[in-house]
Chains A and B, each alone.
Chain A
Amino acid sequence: MRHNLDARRMLCPMPVIKTQNKIKTLQAGDTLSVTCTDPGAINDIPAWCRINGHKFIDYQQQDDEIILNIEVGDV
């Protein structure tokens, strides 16, 4: 199942915290698209995924918005 999370205007580390808390409610195999405006999220969310067993798929950047796509891991 696909899910979305709006983390615009939030600064590091709030997008990561929101992502972490949202993923706790999801199932393994679900995908989550997180929309951010803090460019730090491009490093922080993939790092969070790597250490916590989730798959960071990719990100797209359009103007000042960044959409990061994650597949929830089986953890």
Chain B
Amino acid sequence: MSKQPKAIALISGGLDSLLAAKTLLEQGVHVEGINFYTGFCVEGHTHAIRAKDKKKLKRNNALWSAEQLGIKLHIVDVIEEYKDVLINPKHGYGANMNPCLDCKGFMVKKALEWIKENEFDFIVTGEVMGQRPMSQRKDTMPVIARESGANDLLLRPLCAKNLPITKPEIEGWVDREKLYDFSGRSRKPQIALAKQFGFEDWAQPAGGCCFLTDKSYSEKLVDLWKSRDDKRDYEMDDIMLLKIGRHIRPKEYFKLIIGREDGENKYMEGYRKQYVHLHASSCVGPSVLVDGVLKDVDDFKLAAQIVARYSKDRNKDSVTIEMTDLNGVSKTIDVTPFAPHEIKKDWVV
């Protein structure tokens, strides 16, 4: 190939994808980045909502990585297509609702479509053999290459020497000898390589970069599906609201989403036209959305007593709670706030 080879690198924002892309840049390959937004990416979401996090540095780590590398980054919205990956994973789930193997295969498949449309030559990922229990194992890494359709167009520079030779190596677009043989869960080789490349800062997301690996989030998602007659579907608003607030389900057919602080309360106010909502009108209290239906006055009273529990006057005899329906019609009820023990443990999702 006389022209400069062109690779698209999957950029998550973490260290491994940063190093993989840098390895190819060092070999003179033209690299651009691609980042897929599934709706479950941890990137900044809750930090943007919660008031207590307002002072934290807010940056999209994929964009930040691309800027460190001096490459373009294409961010692709795959929210709709990703539903099938999550709902029907061929290879099942990990420890929580994380369909990691199907997810990686899906992203590589999307990258393959992208290189065909944009006349690029191959795909680069930051995978390291043995790094992750589901998608980065010796037996599952070939599955990703095969099922995505990428086959030998998929190059993993950080562990390429542990894997069969790929087309970019055969064609001489990259020098296999200058690729790596990292394996296992240790991060030491990556940190050493980062220093060699002159990187002093990189993202280290606690608990990973996907909400689906989070136990609490996964339980809320399963609860959501169960409450909807096991219809395993979701909208963007559903998955956003699973990320914030206390979720309390006192009846199968309704759940309360209760803001925990000012940032969440303010964010939830934006959903008032889509959800029946409650708030304490006699004192300060949280924003509360009702996911489901309050069927009668007993349900209204039950919801109100829970909401009152989280209001400023939780220790008083009576709190006035106002409920507004989807037509904007409001009504109030005076209730005695629940004591802590009256909010049953199995109501808390």
Measuring CB to CB, which residues of chain A are less than 8 angstroms from any residue of chain B? Answer: 9, 11-14, 16-17, 20, 38-40, 42-44, 47-48, 50-53, 64
Contact = CB atoms under 8 A, between A and B. Distances in A.
A7 B37 CA distance: 16
A52 B60 contact: no
A14 B77 contact: yes
A42 B54 CA distance: 13
Q: Which 8 A-B pairs have the closest CB atoms?
A: A12-B44, A40-B58, A47-B63, A44-B60, A38-B48, A40-B44, A43-B59, A11-B45
Contact of B47 (A13, A40, A47, A64): A40
A51 B73 contact: yes
B293 interface: no
A9 B37 CA distance: 17
Interface of B: 35, 37, 41, 43-45, 47-49, 54, 58-60, 62-64, 66-67, 70-77, 240, 266, 270
A11 B72 contact: no
A22 B312 CA distance: 45
A18 B128 CA distance: 32
A13 B37 contact: yes
B75 A40 contact: no
A55 B181 CA distance: 40
B81 to A, nearest CB: 14
Give the interface SS of chain A, mostly helix, strand, loop or mixed: helix
Given A17-B37, A20-B75, A39 B58 contact: yes
A39 B74 CA distance: 21
A37 to B, nearest CB: 8
Nearest to A64: B266
A13 B58 contact: no
B59 A44 contact: yes
Contacts of A47: 59-60, 63-64, 67
A17 B48 contact: no
A16 B54 CA distance: 19
B77 A12 contact: no
B340 to A, nearest CB: 32
Nearest to B59: A43
Given A40-B44, A40-B47, A51-B73, A13 B60 contact: yes
B343 to A, nearest CB: 29
B72 A43 contact: no
A16 B67 CA distance: 15
A12 B75 contact: no
A47 B49 CA distance: 21
